[in-house]
Structure 1
Amino acid sequence: MKQRPLGRTGRLVSEIGLGCMGMSEFYGVRDDHESMETLHAAADYGVTFFDTADMYGAGHNEELVGRFLKERADDLLVATKFAIVRGANPADRRIDNSPAYIKQACEASLKRLGVEAIDLYYCHRFTGETPIDDVVGAMAELVWDGKVKAIGLSEVTSATLRRACETHHVAALQTEYSLWARDPESDQIATCRELGVTFVPYSPLGRGFLTGSVPQRGDLAAGDFRLIDPRFYGEAGEANAELVERVKDLAAERECEPAQIALAWVLAKQPDAIPIPGTKRRTWLMQNIDAAKVELTPDEVAVLDVAFDPSKVIGARYPQASMTGINA
């Protein structure tokens, strides 16, 4: 697999990474055996960039990735995150950006991952209650202490990113980006390039919607995030499904899968970004990896740009309760 640089760290990682969140929750029941097989298959086929967070499965995801790391001697890069604090009720959560919490969260993640230093440590959500200078300052101390190798931010504005980089270099900005989530095109992506920050698109397949095979509500398990996703069902779902027909048409023309067209679009639009499609199954993993072989023409990219003009996508990216810390 082709490699892309991660910020100014000097590290190169695979041009497509693996989002591990769904291995623990949000997309139905978990299957640790299949997830572990998927992690190994990803590394076998050249994926070197793995993404997790302390809140995924309330620590379970980091522990799973930690067990995987013990079985591999490869030069893999693992990113994890802090800031979203889960309560006893899975639906209860708050955001903590305080320096004291950052240090506490880092120690817990190091233990679950079983590593001496975290390769890339993101602030998962930022609210502004703690100044970004203090947040990044605390993260920089972790770098100086040898507990973190590089730092990142998630879902912040260009202004916040600029201010953060005045305190310490930010290696990566992780934000949702796909055919139906194109807000970062306004200025975040350009700012990343200017500052030497790698842009990391999460949910590049629109949480599965852009694959053209979204299950019916009744087929989803309790706790599946898509049950409450504003873009998936009802009038919004019907309107958005019409947009995906263009992806399916192009996939048929190119004799590949719709998911591969959606990923190929991201790779073509942002040749220095590193998308991290998530999956817990080897079948979808291989499909995603093979998307790197699909090279869209400028005309094909333009057709998709027009088909998915942001004005045509219906519904917010998250339910209102989950919008805290988005574009902060």
Structure 2
Amino acid sequence: MEKRSFPRLGREVGVVGLGAWQLGADWGTVGEDEALEILATAVEAGVTFLDTADVYGDGRSEQLIGRFLRERPNSGLTVATKMGRRVPQVPEAYTLDNFRAWTDRSRTNLGVDRLDLVQLHCPPTPVFRDDRVYDALDTLVEEKRIAAYGVSVETVEEALAAISRPGTASVQIILNAFRLKPLERVLPAAAQAGVGIIARVPLASGLLSGRYDEHTSFGADDHRNYNRQGQAFDVGETFSGVDFTVGLDAVARLRPLVPSGATMAQFALRWVIDQPGVTVVIPGARNPGQARGNVAAADLAPLPAETLAGVNAVYDELIRPQVHNRW
């Protein structure tokens, strides 16, 4: 698999990683044995970057990855986690003492002395401009609790604020064929600063997999059921903030652009990979077959210019009015 670098982390990773939210919660039930099989399948297929968070299943995702790491010492994997969403979302919570406690818990869950990469998990917007927050993160690096830090953001402005800080190693942001705004300013700024870009929600919560239709339903424990209006967290995390019916129409328009022999999901992932400045894309997987199929997107040829233009046209007509001015 093609490798790309995090300059400030000093590591290269495969361009397709694995997002491990599904292994914790909020996507329906994934059993422990199946979760470990998903991890094994992804890594055997070439994945070297895993992304999790302390809040996914209240630590379950981290713990499963920790068990997987213990069974495969010296695997060479880079594991990124996130912190901050297990407490009330107020800027006052983002202190050095809390950071130490949160990272100590993640180190225990993952079974490591030092975390590879810790990201602030979509904190309140004022946090991104608080000097004390970055001083505290720098202290964690000095204390060798973490090797590097980054941020996960909801908005372009939050990303740009973090990129301007010299210690920020990565920005995780929603980027997919339904969320083009980061291409305008965030990706160029990150590339210029040497900040890695982690592209999350690349399939728009599965909409861009092409598997859903107007009859699809989701379980009560699936955020695609209970968060469509942002009842639990930012609505942009569910279907990228796109109305489900509009998203289905857009997928139907995109389908003729899919290369022969590729799935809709692989096409959507290849689109992300082709965007200049992307370091790694982190699709999730609820079974080993999905994990294997996602990795195969890295083997597709880069999409031709006319295909990229086709994606832009569908976005401009159907998606832009819903999301472009929001995030």
- TM class, shorter-chain normalised? 0.7 to 0.9
What residue in structure 2 maps to residue 291 of structure 1?
Answer: 297
What residue in structure 2 maps to residue 277 of structure 1?
Answer: 283
Aligned match for 1:258, one of 237, 251, 264: 264
Distance change (3 Å), C-alpha of 1:142 and 1:183: same
Aligned match for 1:307, one of 301, 314, 323: 314
Distance change (3 Å), C-alpha of 1:308 and 1:125: same
What residue in structure 1 maps to residue 232 of structure 2?
Answer: none
**1:316 to partner: Cα distance:** 5.6
Contact (CA 8 Å) 1:121, 1:148: kept in 2 or not? yes
Deviations 1:85-141 (A, max 9, x none): 25xxxxxx5353222211110111111111010001101123245553111111111
Distance change (3 Å), C-alpha of 1:314 and 1:128: closer
What residue in structure 2 maps to residue 94 of structure 1?
Answer: 89
CA RMSD in angstroms comes to: 2.4
What residue in structure 2 maps to residue 75 of structure 1?
Answer: 76
Distance change (3 Å), C-alpha of 1:285 and 1:314: farther
What residue in structure 2 maps to residue 63 of structure 1?
Answer: 63
Paired residues for 1:174-213 under 5 Å: 174-213=172-211
> Aligned equivalents of 1:195 and 1:246: distance in 2?
36
**1:249 to partner: Cα distance:** 2.0
Single out whichever of 261-270 and 216-225 deviates more from structure 2: 216-225
Distance change (3 Å), C-alpha of 1:52 and 1:217: farther
Aligned match for 1:113, one of 110, 113, 117: 110
**1:314 to partner: Cα distance:** 6.5
**With structure 1 as the length reference, what TM-score do the two structures score?**
0.87
Q: Secondary structure at the match of 2:108?
A: helix
What residue in structure 2 maps to residue 41 of structure 1?
Answer: 41
Aligned match for 1:173, one of 153, 156, 171: 171
Q: Secondary structure at the match of 1:85?
A: coil
Amino-acid identity (%): 28
Counterpart AA for 1:276:
I
**1:196 to partner: Cα distance:** 0.5
> Aligned equivalents of 1:109 and 1:271: distance in 2?
29
> Aligned equivalents of 1:126 and 1:49: distance in 2?
23
Distance change (3 Å), C-alpha of 1:72 and 1:145: same
> Aligned equivalents of 2:255 and 2:125: distance in 1?
41
> Aligned equivalents of 2:309 and 2:165: distance in 1?
38
Distance change (3 Å), C-alpha of 1:179 and 1:162: closer
> Aligned equivalents of 1:316 and 1:106: distance in 2?
33
Aligned length: 310
> Aligned equivalents of 1:271 and 1:101: distance in 2?
32
> Gaps (5+ residues) in structure 2?
230-237
Q: Secondary structure at the match of 2:286?
A: coil
Deviations 1:289-320 (A, max 9, x none): 11112221121111112112276356569xxx
Counterpart AA for 1:250:
L
Contact (CA 8 Å) 2:190, 2:277: kept in 1 or not? no
Counterpart AA for 1:176:
I
> Aligned equivalents of 1:207 and 1:314: distance in 2?
19
Deviations 1:53-87 (A, max 9, x none): 0011011111111111101131000000111125x
